[in-house]
Amino acid sequence: MPQDEFWHGDPRLAVSYREAWEISRANAMWAEWRGGLYHASAIAAAMSKDAQYPERPLGLPETEVEIEEREKAAYREGRAVFESFASAFNAKLESEKEE
């Protein structure tokens, strides 16, 4: 807050400046934390064959296409699990009928 505004401006401005400072500090801390995740991922990817560096920026929201692809993949996976369960269940019923 500029000194002139502090002494001659509206006292309520101090609250706004304080809130803006707290928000900017929180954003800076989030950026530092995310940077640490990138460093940890880079070190892990360099040291291990199993670890991978992130393919997309951390915290970036998914696009509509990515959401749709993820939902379709989950649907296909669930459908495959259900079909395998149903075929095993039907095979068990058939074997019980034959006995």
Tens digit of each residue's pLDDT, the chain (99 residues):
888 888 888 888 889 999 999 999 999 999 999 899 899 989 998 988 888 888 878 777 788 898 899 999 999 999 999 999 999 999 998 888 877
User: Is residue 18 within 8 Å of 31, Cβ to Cβ?
Assistant: no
Determine the pLDDT at residue 5. 86
Which two three-digit tokens encode residue 95?
């074997």
Instruction: Provide the 10 A C-beta neighbour count for residue 90.
Output: 10
pTM score above 0.75? no
CB-count exposure of residue 96 (10 Å: 0-12, 13-18, 19+): exposed
Q: How many helices (H) and strands (E) does the chain have?
A: 3, 0
DSSP label at 58? T
